[in-house]
Amino acid sequence: MTRSPARVLLLASALSAGTLLTTASCANEGILHQVTTAPSPSAVRTPAAHASPAAAPVLTPAQAQAALITDADLGAPWTPTQGTATWRDGLLKAQTAVPDCQRLLDALYADELLGTPAASQAVTALDDTDDEAQLRYQVAAFPPADVDRTLTWLKTLPQTCASFTATTTRSGPQTVTVTEATLPNVGDTREGLRLTFTGTTPEGDRSVLTLDTAAVRIGDDTITLTNGGLANVPPAATGQALEVGAQRLTEVQRQGRVQI
């Protein structure tokens, strides 16, 4: 059958339109698949829907757990903890009129020196019964910029909170001194403090709590540590924990991370 030129042209136009629709549909499916599975920084943005940057890869819970230290890393007399130290509620739960010093006390009592972790975390605690000391060790992910800002703030506290009075409910007024702690040269950035709480027990005896606290950022992960006790608290335990822990965290990071 002979088709008229007009009919041939109409058919060709229809086929071309169908081809374009099919091509556009495939292209749209490809774009949707691309955005769903692997967002690209160059993805088209519209005023109604701006693409969010991909979250940083994080350690899995198992990897964070594997990055922790153990009592074997510190040796005797350190053992797995038997419970929360009695001096925590008695001395760290305190009030002071100096805002920066209050912020520090609140962070130490809540075990959140750097705030609430942004991603997976793992925590362990060890006891030194000889010195009535307890060491708490955490591996967690925080935004690096937030960590660096907090470390900068911690560095100011030996001047801002060099000596202040804190009032506790159970142990009365305490004279608190804050000095900079010496830390091993590990991680990308780090900061540490040593606090001493001096007061009198309800029985009238002099009491002294020494507390080391430190944070070390290694890439997108951070180690935070507190080591405190009512007797002697050797700084060597803090340094050893950070040295071993930094090496272990670095080894775990090399295993690869998970994109969230």
Q: What is the pLDDT of residues 153-172, one digit of tens each?
A: 999 999 999 999 999 988 89
Give the DSSP H/E element, type plus range, for residue 123: strand 121-128
Q: How many residues does the chain have?
A: 260
Q: How far apart are CA 211 and CA 122, in angstroms?
A: 21
Separation in Å, CA 209 to CA 37, 77, 184, 232: 53, 19, 23, 9
Please choose, from the candidates 181, 65, 56, the residue with its C-alpha nearest in 3D space to the C-alpha of residue 119: 56
Give the DSSP H/E element, type plus range, for residue 34: helix 5-37
> Would you kindly state where each structural domain of the chain is located, as residue ranges?
1-54, 61-253
- Once rounded to an integer, what is the mean pLDDT over residues 53-63? 70
How would CATH label the architecture of 61-253?
3-Layer(aba) Sandwich (3.40)
Task: Pick from 79-88, 209-218, 227-236 the range whose average pLDDT is largest.
Answer: 209-218
208 — pLDDT class (breaks 50, 70, 90)? very high
Q: Are 98 and 160 in contact (CB under 8 A)?
A: yes
Residue 58's pLDDT is what? 77
Buried b (16+ CB within 10 A) or exposed e, 79-89: eeeeeebebbe
Query: Can you give the pTM of this predicted structure?
Result: 0.75
82-125, pLDDT tens digit by residue?
A: 888 888 898 999 999 999 999 999 999 999 999 888 666 899 99
235 — pLDDT class (breaks 50, 70, 90)? confident
Residue 40's pLDDT is what? 38
Which of the two residues, 131 and 57, has the higher pLDDT score?
131
